[in-house]
Chains A and B, each alone.
Chain A
Amino acid sequence: MSVPRTAALALGDDALILSQRLGEWAGHAPVLEEEVALANIALDLLGQARALLSMVGDEDELAYLREEREFTNVQLVERPNGDFAHTIARQLYFSTWQELLYGRLATGEGALAELAAKAVKEVAYHRDHAEQWTLRLGDGTELSHERMRTALAALWRYTGELFQPVEGLEVDWEELREEWTRRITDVVERAGLSLPEGPQGTSWAAGAGRQGIHTEPFGRMLAEMQHLHRSHPGASW
């Protein structure tokens, strides 16, 4: 069974771009231990991206030689790191979704299901890490609570896109959204916060990353990521 190209690219781009963002934390995390944790998560995601992109082409070409409009990651993963709370909110939204999605994909057949079965263990850890920090920041000091609240609200508009159907993935997206919302609600409530209000998936909420439309900071991120490869085309390292 061949791997559906659109799906492998979409999931591969999600993992690649979030991995790149998390890599930016190296040397800047609040504490050494957290630095290691974020790097670990970034490496897991990079591994997933490599596997997914390799399924449909040359991983380096796909990562380094595509233009912004050719990337089909959701906008959520390309959002800047912001403060630690923003990074954690992004991780919480994304990894909860990824765990639920990969869990479903793992029950299928083919190379994608095999990858999902392997990756779901990793993303369960990512989700746990994000949950632990959401609880601690939300239930921490007045300042950390406020920052966590702000971060969850700021990224909320990008979450609707997670449930846009992806060609080639046999998933009940509405059911996925319900389960995701239940999980997120549970965590933010335990953290003493509440689910942000506002549009999530309506026409004027953000989110057309799957169609190649990206937010403004994405271009700069891509320029940094691709700079070396484009300066020395064809080099091997």
Chain B
Amino acid sequence: MTTSEWPLWEVFVRSRRGLSHTHAGSLHAPDAEMALRNARDLYTRRSEGVSIWVVPSAAITASSPDEKDPFFEPAADKPYRHPTFYEVPEGVRHL
């Protein structure tokens, strides 16, 4: 059994009262159906009413750690990028 036949899957679980799917971990499975079942065993202990997403890890494109700085560095020294100079006129609602 080679690894290529048992690819890695990422598991996202939404708990019964949770609002969004959260990355729970990863696992190996031969296909999506088995990945779902394995995820159920490994990450949900079969609590009812949860939702599981499985995604082949290969389908995920991640931002590169090397480019972290240019990617995420907020240009904090350019205050004009931040809408902090506006005063909200009175009478504006729902803001």
Contact = CB atoms under 8 A, between A and B. Distances in A.
A124 to B, nearest CB: 11
Interface string A142-153: 000000000000
A174 B73 CA distance: 72
Interface stretch (B12-20, B35-43, B56-64, B80-88): B35-43
A31 B35 CA distance: 13
Interface residues of A, number: 12
A219 to B, nearest CB: 32
B20 to A, nearest CB: 25
Nearest to A140: B30
B41 A136 contact: no
Contacts of B1: 30-31
Contacts of B24: none
Contact of A136 (B27, B28, B30, B38): B30
A37 B46 CA distance: 12
A33 interface: yes
B50 interface: no
A132 B29 CA distance: 12
Contacts, number: 27
A129 interface: yes
A32 B25 CA distance: 14
Contacts of B30: 136
Contacts of B37: 37, 128-129, 132
Contacts of A37: 37-38, 41
B41 A33 contact: yes
A33 B33 contact: no
A37 B6 CA distance: 16
Contacts of A129: 37
B28 A40 contact: no
A136 B27 CA distance: 18
Interface string A20-49: 000000000011110011001000000000
